[in-house]
Amino acid sequence: PILNPSHGWEPSPFPLLPLRRLPRRRRRRRDQVPPPLSPHHRARHLRPRLAAAMSSSSSPAPAPGSDPAAPAASSASSAIDFLTLCYRLKTTKRAGWVRRGVPGPESVADHMYRMGVMALVAADLPAGVNRDRCVKMAIVHDIAEAIVGDITPADGVPKEEKSRREKEALDHMCALLGGGSRADEIRELWMEYENNATLEAKVVKDFDKVEMILQALEYEKEQGRDLEEFFQSTAGKFQTGVGKAWAAEVASRRK
């Protein structure tokens, strides 16, 4: 109805539309946690970021007048992405011990860490050896195993194929790091070790074997095992005086 000043209320000439009840919006309780994204949706969110990280082997130069903090933020993002991938080295168990049924076997990261300490504390390195380079080489020589895992001779993978897989994984990781001098150094150290190209590489390869037999000795004593095969696999393969001396010392402690 409408109000007519002379006649009072009269019927409205306009047709009335029926009212529709709007659906009530459910309010989320304050303590209610939203459901996690499904793996499909997580992949959709993460894929563009990973693609951007892999699209170039070097960080782009900042545009003129851009925020000076932006390059630092980009560098931090690349570093954390790289380190997050390196976390797998802490959870990937050394395959030789796993295959022998050793409980609680060391990880790849455990192995590389003690090799780095070996290079740091060795007082009898060959003359002219760059100690710092040995330390760095020790902590990157198995870094590609974060992606390919610990491939051993028992897996039946040809040496050339193993090297190809690891090289591809290393390139992926260096690109994830954003390229630049740090990535170049990691790649150079890895290739130097892989090719046994320098005296530093020979020292670190010896430390690789020494660390393995020292770990075997520790498992023998802790668990009452016979791990002779690991000692036999390294016999006669040491290339440096320090490697031979340290291996002999480890062997003497088995008696």
Q: What b/e string do you get for 19-38 counting C-beta neighbours within 10 Å, with b at 16 or more? A: eeeeeeeeeeeeeeeeeeee
Predicted confidence (pLDDT) at residue 253 exceeds the cutoff of 70:
yes
- Neighbour-count burial of 69, counting CB atoms closer than 10 A to its CB (0-12 exposed, 13-18 middle, 19+ buried): exposed
Alpha-carbon distance of 68 to 62, in angstroms, equals 8
Predicted confidence (pLDDT) at residue 222 exceeds the cutoff of 50:
yes
Nearest to 115, CA basis, from 199, 196, 213, 245: 213
Instruction: Give me the domains of the chain, ranges plus CATH numbers.
Output: 70-252 (1.10.3210.10)
Predicted confidence (pLDDT) at residue 64 exceeds the cutoff of 90:
no
Within 10 A of 3 (CB to CB), how many other CB atoms are there? 8
pLDDT of residue 81: 95
Within 10 A of 6 (CB to CB), how many other CB atoms are there? 5
pLDDT-derived band at 74 (thresholds 50, 70, 90) equals confident
Q: DSSP string spanning 22-85?
A: PPPPPPPPTTPPPPPPPHHHHHHHHHHHHHHHHS-SSPPPPPTT--TTHHHHHHHHHHHHHHHH
pLDDT of residue 12: 53
What is residue 19's DSSP assignment?
Answer: P
- CA dihedral sign, ordered 101, 158, 184, 60: negative
Predicted confidence (pLDDT) at residue 97 exceeds the cutoff of 90:
yes
Predicted confidence (pLDDT) at residue 68 exceeds the cutoff of 60:
no
Decide: helix, strand or coil at residue 10: strand
Question: Tens of pLDDT along 166-187?
Answer: 999 999 999 999 889 999 999 9
